[in-house]
Amino acid sequence: MKTLYTFLIIILSFFSFSQTNLPPGAYTSTNKKAIKLFEESRKLFEVRNDVEAEKKIIASLKEDPNFAEANSAYADFLMMKGKPKQAIDFYKQAILIAPKFMTDNNFYLGQAYKLDAQYENAKQSFLNFLKFERINPNLKSEAEKEVKNADFAINLIKNPKPFKPINVGPGINTENGEYFPAISADGKQFMFTRAIPRKDIVGAFNEDFYMSYREKNVWQQAFPLTDINSYGNEGAPTLSADGNIMFFASCSDEFGDYGGQDRKGFGSCDIFYSQKINGRWSKPRNGGNLINSKNWETQPSFSSDGKTLYFIKGYTGRGPNAKDVDIYMSEIGEDGRFKQPVKLNSNVNSPGEEESVFIHPDNMTLYFASNGHPGLGGTDLFMSKRQANGDWGPAVNLGYPINTAKDENSLLVDPAGNLAYFASSREGGYGDLDIYQFELPEDVRPEKITYVKGKIYNAKTKEPLEAIFELFDLEKQEKVTQSFSQKNGEFLVTLTSNKNYMVNVNKEGFAFYSDNFILKNKVTDFSKPYVLDIPLQPIDTGSVIELKNIFFDVNKWDLKPESKVELNKLVGFLIKNASLKIEVGGHTDSDGDKKANLTLSNNRSKSVVEYLINEGKIQANRLSYKGYGDTKPKVKNDSPENKAKNRRTEFRVIAK
């Protein structure tokens, strides 16, 4: 809405007419009654009596339709009220009456045309403004930029994107306003904000959170989150990948109250968070003084790897004096605390305003709204991709008619990357703002992802366990996600396609569990997630643990670099359990010479022990190794798949 904010500033001073070529105090009209009404309108506007001010200026124009100042001023007034179509004729009339008088009118006529989606006319008006020798220097660069914007918009309209929005249905939408959607990584939990009319104050609303679950591709009847909702306003929720952590914005009222004595803030709007524990949301807590301040922090979006919070920070809030309304990110350190926020680069943040940030679960694609990048007018929706060096790439306009001359924001893209959700008050809805979905064009979709879900449990007793679930990028040798299973043992973690991952699950008193997902050059299907039930072995003499991320080349025993993550986990496990003694065992399939297989498996297990001693500084007397060749298969050696399972490295606890 930058254009309309500009007009809020303009209209406060438009009666001074700094661009006029007339003597001080002179007008283009000689009609005394028209001048008197015009000046009365100015005084009424200065005291914010807009209704009476508008009546006076209309009366002035009735007295003298060729009063250039009154035509220009009323056009400015209509722009401030969000009525660009009506403003156009009054700007045109002012320019027609006095073409060299108040040359800024050509610029503002261009803005009115743009907001009415008349881009060819907008371009011509900006060019007309630039033809004058003496023009407002503050608007010259804006006009040059708007000419380029008009060309950009004209090209977008010539190449429309497919766009067929569908109302998500009565499970979510009502006669009230529904907006700011959020969704879990499995696409089954849908949270949003609903504006409920207040009974005590006419025209006032209370914003609360509601949740809906998907069953058979239909969103079920939404219910309020009574653990979170207060008599204050809650808005703009975002969910962690597993749906168990929520960040949201809460704003103080005129008394500095954020919705209860337990909910303290730093000023204006702050970001809070809550955790779902045993099916209930915990008491919301403030995100802290690194991400929150006396200024305006809102519209959070939490990355699926659980490491980064993206949000909007505005140093003076919304309105004509807003400054630096940009997208920031704050990483969560190993201590679980937020780090100092960092503003995203200039490919994302513009000289204008950014809002409605959303990081897709692929953790590679950022969607946001902005009025500072080339667009069709108001705020448009954009996408930026994370580059190989970690920076954000150029902002890509989502195109027409997804974007229009009006404001678009609050975009959410589902985890599968096919559907986008947004709020709209378009005709045919249930009332006020409704949430709609549409098929996202191929060229602005996120990276393909899948997810793994399952349950962690005690291998002996079958009891569910709360444990730490870690995901590592095998090629980069770095941790990409850390999550926790719930009290019922359940977990959910997203996986970006075309990468290879190592899984490590650990809990005190248990041997760790390892697994991997080899997704490089493999087609993944979001509708078919991985299901992984994980039995953790209690640490006990005789326990055997398979190390699924120890890798060797064919017929070799040199450890491949991808093995180091797993080996270092084993080092940490042995350091933490200092009394344990283990035997590392190597196993092969039945192919080839048995004696050669025995030698190969022995050398491979020896390589692991040497790493533990040399790199991990584990005492040699705690370690032994043995090659078993093909003498202890897990399954029959009767297929390539089974043979792969039999080629393995294990460790056995031989003493506690």
Q: Identify whether residues 180 and 66 lie together within a single domain.
A: no
What are the C-alpha distances in Å from 459 to residues 93, 165, 452, 462, 463? Answer: 83, 49, 20, 6, 8
The tokens describing 310, both together, are: 């993206």
Cα separation, 394 vs 371, in Å, equals 15
**Cis before 137? omega within 30:** no
Cα separation, 274 vs 280, in Å, equals 10
DSSP 563: G
97: helix, coil or strand? helix
Least confident of 421-430, 581-590, 625-634: 421-430
| 479 or 322, greater pLDDT | 479
Give Dmax over CA atoms of the chain in angstroms: 114
- Residues 417-426: what's their mean pLDDT? 90
Backbone angles phi, psi at 549, to 5 degrees: -120, 35
Computed from CA positions of residues 250, 252, 256, 259, in that sequence, does the dihedral angle turn out positive or negative?
A: negative
Cα separation, 310 vs 291, in Å, equals 10
Q: Identify whether residues 466 and 415 lie together within a single domain.
A: no
**Is pLDDT of 187 > 80?**
yes
The residue written with tokens 């952590």 in the block is 245
Range of the domain at 217: 166-444
In terms of phi and psi (left: phi > 0; alpha: psi -120 to 50; beta: otherwise), the region of 140 is: alpha
Q: Identify whether residues 456 and 529 lie together within a single domain.
A: yes
The residue written with tokens 């653990």 in the block is 227
Q: Which amino acid is at 141?
A: S
332: helix, coil or strand? strand
Mean pLDDT computed over every residue of the chain: 89
CATH code for the domain of 631: 3.30.1330.60
Q: For 156-179, what is each residue's pLDDT tens digit?
A: 999 999 999 999 999 999 999 999
User: How high is the pLDDT of residue 481?
Assistant: 86
With cut-offs at 50, 70 and 90, classify the pLDDT of residue 499.
confident
Q: What are the percentages of helix, strand and coil residues in the chain, rounded to 5?
A: 25, 30, 45
In the listed set 385, 415, 444, which residue is the last one of a domain according to the structure?
444
Q: How many CB atoms lie within 10 A of CB 261?
A: 7
Q: Which amino acid is at 66?
A: N
Residues shown for the chain: 656
CATH code for the domain of 428: 2.120.10.30
Q: Identify whether residues 462 and 431 lie together within a single domain.
A: no
Computed from CA positions of residues 596, 601, 602, 606, in that sequence, does the dihedral angle turn out positive or negative?
A: positive
Name the residue among 192, 147, 122 with its Cα closest to residue 434: 192
Q: Identify whether residues 555 and 530 lie together within a single domain.
A: no
Give the number of domains in the chain. 4
Cα separation, 524 vs 411, in Å, equals 25
| 54 or 21, greater pLDDT | 54
Q: Are 411 and 402 in contact (CB under 8 A)?
A: no
With cut-offs at 50, 70 and 90, classify the pLDDT of residue 18.
very low
Q: Identify whether residues 504 and 615 lie together within a single domain.
A: no
Cα separation, 150 vs 83, in Å, equals 20
Q: For 199-234, what is each residue's pLDDT tens digit?
A: 877 778 888 999 999 998 899 999 999 888 888 788
Cα separation, 525 vs 565, in Å, equals 27
User: How high is the pLDDT of residue 7?
Assistant: 45
Least confident of 39-43, 156-160, 407-411: 407-411
Give the pairing type, strands 449-458 and 534-536.
parallel
Q: For 103-149, what is each residue's pLDDT tens digit?
A: 899 999 999 999 999 999 999 999 999 999 888 888 898 899 999 99
With cut-offs at 50, 70 and 90, classify the pLDDT of residue 349.
very high
Total-model pTM: 0.83
With cut-offs at 50, 70 and 90, classify the pLDDT of residue 260.
low
Q: Identify whether residues 595 and 552 lie together within a single domain.
A: yes
412: helix, coil or strand? strand
Q: Are 209 and 196 in contact (CB under 8 A)?
A: no
Cα separation, 587 vs 598, in Å, equals 8
The tokens describing 642, both together, are: 């089974």
| 185 or 566, greater pLDDT | 566
Cα separation, 349 vs 343, in Å, equals 8
The residue written with tokens 């248990």 in the block is 510
DSSP 464: B
With cut-offs at 50, 70 and 90, classify the pLDDT of residue 335.
confident
User: How high is the pLDDT of residue 257?
Assistant: 67
Q: How many CB atoms lie within 10 A of CB 263?
A: 19
The tokens describing 29, both together, are: 């009209």
The residue written with tokens 């704003």 in the block is 251
10: helix, coil or strand? helix
Q: Which amino acid is at 97?
A: I
With cut-offs at 50, 70 and 90, classify the pLDDT of residue 551.
very high
In the listed set 428, 444, 460, which residue is the last one of a domain according to the structure?
444
CA 470 to mean position of chain CA atoms: 22
- Residues 378-385: what's their mean pLDDT? 93
Cα separation, 514 vs 536, in Å, equals 10
Q: Identify whether residues 151 and 170 lie together within a single domain.
A: no
CA 350 to mean position of chain CA atoms: 17
User: How high is the pLDDT of residue 129?
Assistant: 95
**Is pLDDT of 359 > 90?**
yes
Q: Identify whether residues 415 and 456 lie together within a single domain.
A: no
| 278 or 411, greater pLDDT | 411
314 contacts: CB under 8 Å, gap ≥ 6: 295, 296, 298, 322, 323, 324, 325, 326, 353
Helix H or strand E encompassing 508: none
Helix H or strand E encompassing 648: strand 648-655
Q: Identify whether residues 199 and 258 lie together within a single domain.
A: yes
Helix H or strand E encompassing 56: helix 50-63
CATH code for the domain of 509: 2.60.40.10
Q: Are 115 and 121 in contact (CB under 8 A)?
A: no
Q: Identify whether residues 299 and 150 lie together within a single domain.
A: no
Cα separation, 204 vs 425, in Å, equals 18
Cα separation, 93 vs 95, in Å, equals 5
- b/e sequence 173-193, b meaning 16+ C-beta within 10 Å: bbebbbbbbbbbbbbebbbbb
**Is pLDDT of 12 > 50?**
no
User: How high is the pLDDT of residue 16?
Assistant: 38
With cut-offs at 50, 70 and 90, classify the pLDDT of residue 316.
low
CATH code for the domain of 28: 1.25.40.10
**Is pLDDT of 24 > 60?**
no
User: How high is the pLDDT of residue 265?
Assistant: 83
Cα separation, 95 vs 107, in Å, equals 11
The tokens describing 655, both together, are: 């003493």
The tokens describing 117, both together, are: 């989606």
Backbone angles phi, psi at 382, to 5 degrees: -135, 165
The residue written with tokens 């401030």 in the block is 80
Least confident of 218-222, 335-339, 537-541: 335-339
Q: Identify whether residues 107 and 91 lie together within a single domain.
A: yes
In the listed set 118, 134, 158, which residue is the last one of a domain according to the structure?
158
Cα separation, 437 vs 422, in Å, equals 6
- Residues 591-615: what's their mean pLDDT? 95
Name the residue among 364, 383, 368 with its Cα closest to residue 161: 383
